[in-house]
Chains A and B, each alone.
Chain A
Amino acid sequence: MSTILTYVAISDGKVKRSSLEVLSRCREVAKENGLKVEAVIIDPDASKYTDQVGTYGPETIYVIEHAIFKNHLNKPLLDALETVVNEANPVLTAFASTEAIKDILGALAMRLNAKALPDVASFELKDGVVEALRPVMAAKLMARTRVKGDRMLVSVRSGSYDLAEVDSQPEVKKLEFSFDESSLKMELRDLVTSSGGGVDLSEAPVVVSGGRGIKDEDGKKLVHDLAELMGGAVGASRAVTESGLFPATAQIGQTGKVVSPQIYFAVGISGAIQHVAGMSNSKVIVAINKDPEAPIFDIATYGLVGDLYKVLPPLIEEVKKAKG
């Protein structure tokens, strides 16, 4: 029986929620098609995560462990994915659309002679055809795109599907993997983590983002204070990463990161379509903007019309009180 394989990414010692969303979706799709659902973890300590991944219902969890996976490097990840695809022989391999996966998906497709649908908002599998909706034209609209084949790849934007846990007893299969480091032509010289307090933006439960309405360091501090208080990460719109007020690593949108937190605060952000593409899967969107006509209010769960410099200080106090 053929298989749908989900690659479960590990980041900073944690299983990526977006990968588990994809695994939850793949279990549904596998059931509809009478296929097996399997997962793979590739990490120096991959075995550590099998219990947690197991609660999302894969029948088999492949683990590939090697010290080379400590930091992202495209070649070893490609080699490991090739190894597991050759072993599991899945008709469809699914990924969360992380930066690491964007880095390798094309190369993997070429290497496996597979057909890839990158960065989809939703996908179906029916009669051997994968059909997906993908945001295109700088996220102005969706293209319904399809592939048919015996080897297909799909990467899914975060927040597109809900997590669904289930009772299961997966079989864990450890795959042999060796990597000759001298074959690695590239060298990772340094890794510069963002200054946002170390919370991974794409996984954060709360994101507080600043936009053009933030004029100075004082405004930036308000954004940081709220984020810290909420245990969240700091994001930004392109306007303020370009101006240099916020780091480029904080940029959210079609050209930056895609986030899907429980609460997204858009502070002084007008809501340009390219920004919205990076956050519209958030559960609750709070917009704070002094322009009552700002397009962000069309999508906000709660819109606060007011000057962010006047609204954020009492808001920070109220949140402090609520958190006790």
Chain B
Amino acid sequence: MKLHICIKQVPDITAPSSIRNGELVFETDRVVLDAYSASAVEESLVLSEKHGGEVSVVSIGSDKVKETIRKALAMGAENAVHIKTGDTSAFDSSVYARLLAAYFEKNPGFEVILLGKQAQDTDAGLTGSMLAEKLGLPYATNAVGLEFDESAGKMIVTRQGDSGQEIIALPIPCIVTCSNDMNDPRIPNLRGIMQSKKKPVEEISPDDLEISSDELNQMAFTEITGYEPMPERQPGKKLEGEPEELAKQLVDLLQNEAKVL
């Protein structure tokens, strides 16, 4: 089975950050493999260990993205494609989806394409289904489980839906987007890290995909004009005391103050 994992590099969102004049400033320039992408990589490695196959990663961005590609290779992916662009800060989901679609159209023969269900930086969750629509592939999003049914030749996806978990069979080729609840991504060991340095990384440019840099810079549909802190809820009443007393007070407040009981 051929598995292609589209991975994203994101700022380390756990790093201290602040908003200055509407701009988001992180105190470090540390970048990491997006947690949802990492779950997609992990899941593909488990699948290939079980059923055989080749795990390739695809990522878009400047030279800095190589660091994140190496991480996925160190986890166990065999090879990688780096679609090298300039600064990606103005790229939105539609830019990523159209670049990826152009790559897969030019390199057919893919079977299962995995992505994160969203990315930790934008939390948009659009790229996977955009790519599926562009490529005309069946897809399932928000997967929390993934199996390959060898006898039917189908991918069996467990996805988190509104009223429960939907178990969906998809033919190959198909696209699946992964939740970070799917697994615990492995931490690369020393051997993996050493090997990752020798694994092939093919570098291609948007030009190779017949997308000019002018086109690329005008591709984004959405524009971020600034960042703001999350609106804060005001703390209300804090009650302390004996459990029985707390219970009585709370029921009284819910009935007579908040009027919701």
Chain A residues with CB below 8 A from B240, complex form: 292, 305-306
Q: Does B120 contact A (CB under 8 A)?
A: yes
What's the nearest-Cβ distance from chain B to residue A296, in Å?
10
What's the nearest-Cβ distance from chain A to residue B30, in Å?
14
Which residue in B127, B130, B144, B261 is a CB contact (below 8 Å) of A248? B144
Complex CA–CA separation, A74 to B186 (angstroms): 31
What's the nearest-Cβ distance from chain A to residue B156, in Å?
7
Which residue in B121, B162, B165, B258 is a CB contact (below 8 Å) of A192? B165
Which residue in B123, B163, B223, B250 is a CB contact (below 8 Å) of A12? B163
Question: If A102-B125, A119-B123, A145-B223 touch, does A135 touch B233 (CB 8 Å cutoff)?
Answer: no
Per-position binary interface string of chain B over residues 120-163, scored 1 when its CB falls under 8 Å from any chain A CB and 0 otherwise: 11111111111111100011111010000000000010011111
A318 touches B250 (CB 8 A): yes
A303 touches B229 (CB 8 A): no
Q: Does A146 contact B (CB under 8 A)?
A: yes
Q: Does B187 contact A (CB under 8 A)?
A: no
B235 touches A297 (CB 8 A): yes
A144 touches B226 (CB 8 A): yes
B170 touches A315 (CB 8 A): no
What secondary structure prevails in chain A residues at the interface with B? mixed
Q: Does A301 contact B (CB under 8 A)?
A: yes
A99 touches B162 (CB 8 A): yes
Per-position binary interface string of chain A over residues 56-70, scored 1 when its CB falls under 8 Å from any chain B CB and 0 otherwise: 000000000000000
**Which residue of A is nearest B162, CB measured?**
A99
Complex CA–CA separation, A142 to B163 (angstroms): 28
B222 touches A140 (CB 8 A): no
**Which residue of A is nearest B238, CB measured?**
A303
Per-position binary interface string of chain A over residues 79-108, scored 1 when its CB falls under 8 Å from any chain B CB and 0 otherwise: 000000000000000000011101111111
B165 touches A135 (CB 8 A): no
A302 touches B160 (CB 8 A): no
Per-position binary interface string of chain A over residues 298-319, scored 1 when its CB falls under 8 Å from any chain B CB and 0 otherwise: 1111111111001101110111
Complex CA–CA separation, A139 to B140 (angstroms): 24
**Which residue of A is nearest B139, CB measured?**
A74
Complex CA–CA separation, A105 to B131 (angstroms): 12
B167 touches A297 (CB 8 A): no
Q: Does B190 contact A (CB under 8 A)?
A: no
Within A111-139, the residues touching B (CB, 8 Å) are: 111, 115-119, 131, 133-139
Chain B residues with CB below 8 A from A106, complex form: 93, 97, 125-131, 133
Which residue in B13, B128, B237, B260 is a CB contact (below 8 Å) of A138? B13
Question: If A301-B258, A302-B236, A314-B247 touch, does A115 touch B126 (CB 8 Å cutoff)?
Answer: no
Chain A residues with CB below 8 A from B165, complex form: 191-192, 194, 248-249
Which residue in B19, B142, B230, B237 is a CB contact (below 8 Å) of A102? B142
Q: Does B243 contact A (CB under 8 A)?
A: yes
B130 touches A107 (CB 8 A): yes
B126 touches A105 (CB 8 A): yes
**Which residue of A is nearest B223, CB measured?**
A146
Complex CA–CA separation, A109 to B94 (angstroms): 9
Chain A residues with CB below 8 A from B174, complex form: 185
Chain B residues with CB below 8 A from A102, complex form: 117, 125, 141-142
A302 touches B17 (CB 8 A): no
A186 touches B13 (CB 8 A): no
B164 touches A191 (CB 8 A): yes
Q: Does A1 contact B (CB under 8 A)?
A: no
What's the nearest-Cβ distance from chain B to residue A70, in Å?
12
Complex CA–CA separation, A294 to B83 (angstroms): 45
B19 touches A262 (CB 8 A): no
Q: Does B204 contact A (CB under 8 A)?
A: no
**Which residue of B is nearest A282, CB measured?**
B233
Per-position binary interface string of chain A over residues 261-275, scored 1 when its CB falls under 8 Å from any chain B CB and 0 otherwise: 011000000000100
B227 touches A144 (CB 8 A): yes
Q: Does B228 contact A (CB under 8 A)?
A: yes
B239 touches A304 (CB 8 A): yes
Q: List 11 A-B contacts (CB under 8 A).
A: A99-B160, A102-B117, A110-B97, A138-B123, A141-B227, A144-B225, A185-B171, A186-B169, A187-B168, A189-B168, A194-B164
Interface residue ranges, A against B (CB under 8 Å): 11-12, 71-72, 74-75, 78, 98-100, 102-111, 115-119, 131, 133-147, 149, 185-194, 200, 202, 238, 241-242, 248-249, 251, 254-256, 262-263, 273, 277, 280, 283-286, 292, 297-307, 310-311, 313-315, 317-319, 321-323
Given contacts A202-B162, A251-B181, A313-B243, 5 further A-B contacts (CB under 8 A): A186-B170, A283-B258, A298-B233, A299-B232, A318-B248
